[in-house]
Amino acid sequence: MKLTLSKSRTKVNTKAKKQSIWSEYKKHKLLLLMLLPGLIWYLIFYYGPLYGIQIAFKNYRIADGITGSEWVGLDHFIRMFSTDGFTEILGNTLIISFYHILFGFTAPIILALLLNEIRSNVFKRVSQSISYLPHFFSWVILGGILDVLLSPTNGVVNHLIQLIGLDPIYFLGDPKYFRFTLVTSAIWKEIGWGTIIYLAALSSVDSHLYEAAIVDGANRWKQTLHITIPSIMPVIAILFILRIGNILDAGFDQVLNLYNPAVYSVGDIIDTYVYRVGINGMQYSYTTAVGLFKNVVGFTMILIANYAIKKSGQEGLF
Amino acid sequence: MTVGEKVFQVFLIVFIVFLCVMMLYPFIHMLAVSFSTPTEAIRPGLHLFPLEFSLDAYKNAFSSNQIWVGFGNTIFRTVVGTILALVFMSLTAYPLSKKYLPHRTFFTLLIVFTMFFQGGLIPTYLLIKEVGLMDSRLVYVLAPPFFISTFSLLILRNFFMQIPAELEESAKMDGASDIKILFSIILPLSKPILATVGLWMAVNQWNSWFDGLLYIQDTDKMVLQTYLRRLVIENNTQEMQAMMDQTGGQDVVPESIKAATIMLATIPILVVYPFLQKYFTKGIFIGSVKG
């Protein structure tokens, strides 16, 4: 008797729960309808490819489609790690990305601190506007420009280099200089734009802190060290997490527009490799495996970096 | 100011001026070369203005059919793509900004997850094929990273969340539906942020070249940047020759043609840049406050 009673009670409860969920849906059905197109778009264009990732474990043939292609397990991954070519690619990616982080991540912070010290508002605003300029152009445009400026025959940079007595440098064709060119031109492009978020953080620092520090006799440098930098640490931390998550992103757009076969040995990165071998070479399954490897590493890195930063006391991303 | 601080200020100004010159010079150089005669265009050294002036490179560029085709497609994708994006990002961000949306967290996570993990180039390429967008201009406005930018979506959502609930409540009491509220109340209040997000989308559309390379074969559908890449990066001799043949090939060199075509893609941005300055950067301020 008792058992049946409780059964019917849970039946009533779940029925009531179901009804309330449906009534919630009905109540906000227009809202959900508004969400629907975007949601469907994400499902098709982001989760669709996620479904297609499985071909990394198959031998994808167009005729067989994704489901019809046969499973080959970890074959592609084994091939990946036993090819010398891939080790070189991975090395290039890590080294270039490391330089990008070491110099490219820190440069906007330093520039932001410097811009913050400018007394004249007009000068500050004008120089900021100018510094954002290269950010708004594609690497096709900038690549074309760099090709001209860095030309070993009639480029202006080499002209100046030769004026001081040195030999012309093949910035884009010499493996010794290619990575330097990549990192420096990337900084040139993004340093201005990168300062925006730091300047926003700097503008919200309580001026009373500075006043108190001046009373205590701290000069501008000490103020920077003990007030300014700690106050933008949370922003730096979050952006650093995101950057580390992209550690295997060495700048596909830039490299594809600046590289050439002469510098593949130092400049070919995972993404350009996937593009060449995957799209042009049509080795779909293999390069999907390479791409999957990259994404998994990236995702793991974000989780690790987020954890590490939270452990150190800062607020993480999640 | 102490002596040390004065010295620092001097160095600071010198450094910043140097930086600004570095940012501007490349564009000045290209502008000068684009207006140069062949001998002047290939002269090594500084180019601040053309020592020998010529409009021939631009004459060539303007008489090239492919340039106009490129412009047309680029303008199409910039205008249509931006409008589409603003409409659908608003439609998607608004429900996500309402705390009472059923399964709100689930939907938000579903969308944000795509920022951290994706299928990759090949699976996306195969999907575009599958969906029938290959060699279609629609791929310019429907495929990621366009249509909806997750980053901009979050910024919009956060902005909507900060709009006082009373406005919505009083409209609801007057019987307004969610869609009406969005379009008559929320969006008019969101003009600054919509301008910023729209501008980001427009600039990205204007600069986009890779999807054209990947998905489009029909040269009639090629955008300016993809054509530019063939001319300037891939050093496609066929295209260059076709370009130079426009005026008998005597009065131009590849250097001045390249400069002229680069400037054609660059000048529109340079022209609108000073006027839209504040919109470009404001968004980050708004986004970073509660990012």
pLDDT at A176 over 60: yes
Transcribe B57-90 into DSSP letters.
HHHHHHH-HHHHHHHHHHHHHHHHHHHHHHHHHH
Question: What angle is formed at CA B192 by the lines to CA B187 and CA B197, rounded to 5 degrees?
Answer: 85
A222 close contact with B: CB closer than 8 A: no
pLDDT at A9 over 50: yes
pLDDT at B194 over 60: yes
B244 close contact with A: CB closer than 8 A: no
State the number of CA atoms in the 13 A half-sphere of A239 facing the CB.
18
| Residues facing residue A281 across a β-bridge | none
Identity at A156, one-letter amino acid code: V
Q: What does the pLDDT average to over A166-175? A: 93
Strand runs labelled E in chain B? none
Which token pair is B126?
């195969």
Which token pair is B169?
């409540």
pLDDT at B16 (0 to 100)? 96
pLDDT at B27 over 80: yes
Average pLDDT of the residues of chain B: 89
Condensed to tens digits (0 to 9), the pLDDT of residues A128-165 reads 999 999 999 999 999 999 999 999 988 999 999 999 99
pLDDT at B72 over 70: yes
Q: How far apart are CA B114 and CA A46, in angstroms?
A: 7
Helix%, strand%, coil% for chain A, nearest 5: 80, 0, 20
For chain B positions 141-200, those within 8 Å of chain A (CB to CB) are 142-144, 147-148, 153, 177-179, 182
Condensed to tens digits (0 to 9), the pLDDT of residues B124-138 reads 999 999 999 999 999
Q: How far apart are CA B191 and CA B185, in angstroms?
A: 11
Q: How many CB atoms lie within 10 A of CB A209?
A: 15
Q: How many CB atoms lie within 10 A of CB A55?
A: 25
State the number of CA atoms in the 13 A half-sphere of A126 facing the CB.
11
pLDDT at A1 (0 to 100)? 47
Write down the domain spans for chain A.
2-73, 80-311
Location of structure tokens 């593009």:
A275
Question: A226, A213 in Cβ contact below 8 A?
Answer: yes
Nearest in space to A47 (alpha carbons), one of B110, B121, B125: B110
The residue of chain B nearest to residue A297, with distances taken between CA atoms, is B117
The residue of chain B nearest to residue A291, with distances taken between CA atoms, is B120
Question: B257, B243 in Cβ contact below 8 A?
Answer: yes
DSSP state of A168: P
Q: Give the distance, in angstroms, between the CA of residue B39 and the centroid of all CA atoms in the same chain.
A: 34
Q: What does the pLDDT average to over A222-232? A: 88
Condensed to tens digits (0 to 9), the pLDDT of residues A79-111 reads 999 988 888 999 999 999 999 999 999 999 999
For chain B positions 21-80, those within 8 Å of chain A (CB to CB) are 22-24, 26-27, 29-30, 33, 42-47
Cis bond upstream, residue A261 (ω within 30): no
Contact A148 B203 (CB under 8 A): no
Question: B140, B204 in Cβ contact below 8 A?
Answer: no
Question: A260, A208 in Cβ contact below 8 A?
Answer: no
Identity at A290, one-letter amino acid code: V
Q: How far apart are CA A292 and CA A294, in angstroms?
A: 5
Contact A279 B125 (CB under 8 A): yes
Considering chain A, what percentage of its residues have pLDDT values greater than 90? 62
Condensed to tens digits (0 to 9), the pLDDT of residues A274-296 reads 999 999 999 999 999 999 999 99
Q: Give the distance, in angstroms, between the CA of residue A278 and the centroid of all CA atoms in the same chain.
A: 22
Contact B121 A287 (CB under 8 A): yes
Contact A21 B285 (CB under 8 A): no
The residue of chain B nearest to residue A62, with distances taken between CA atoms, is B126
Identity at A36, one-letter amino acid code: L
Average pLDDT of the residues of chain A: 89
pLDDT confidence bin for A7, thresholds 50/70/90? low
Question: How far A258 CA sits from the closest chain B CA (Å)?
Answer: 8
Q: How far apart are CA B270 and CA A232, in angstroms?
A: 32
Q: How far apart are CA B168 and CA B179, in angstroms?
A: 11
Q: Which residue has the higher pLDDT, B214 or A205?
A: B214
A189 close contact with B: CB closer than 8 A: no
Question: How far A274 CA sits from the closest chain B CA (Å)?
Answer: 8
**ipTM exceeding 0.85, yes/no:** yes
pLDDT at A11 (0 to 100)? 60
Nearest in space to B214 (alpha carbons), one of B85, B125, B97: B125
Q: How far apart are CA A202 and CA A234, in angstroms?
A: 11
Q: Over the Cα atoms of chain A, what is R_g? A: 27
Q: How far apart are CA A104 and CA B51, in angstroms?
A: 37
Helix (H, G, I), strand (E, B) or coil at A38: helix
A214 close contact with B: CB closer than 8 A: no
Query: CA distances (Å), A132 to each of A181, A191, B148, in order?
Result: 20, 8, 24
The CATH fold of domain A80-311: MetI-like fold (1.10.3720)
For chain A positions 5-24, those within 8 Å of chain B (CB to CB) are 21, 24
Cβ-based contacts of B27 with chain A (< 8 Å) = 133, 145
- Best probe of the B interface among A25, A28, A136, by most B CBs < 10 A, is A136
Q: How far apart are CA A117 and CA A236, in angstroms?
A: 19
Condensed to tens digits (0 to 9), the pLDDT of residues B223-281 reads 999 999 999 888 877 888 888 877 665 678 888 999 999 999 999 999 888 888 777 66
pLDDT confidence bin for B286, thresholds 50/70/90? low
Contact A140 B229 (CB under 8 A): yes
Nearest in space to B209 (alpha carbons), one of A83, A313, A257: A257
Q: Which domains, from first to last, does chain B contain?
A: 58-289 (1.10.3720.10)
The region of weakest confidence among A223-227, B48-52, B276-280 is B276-280
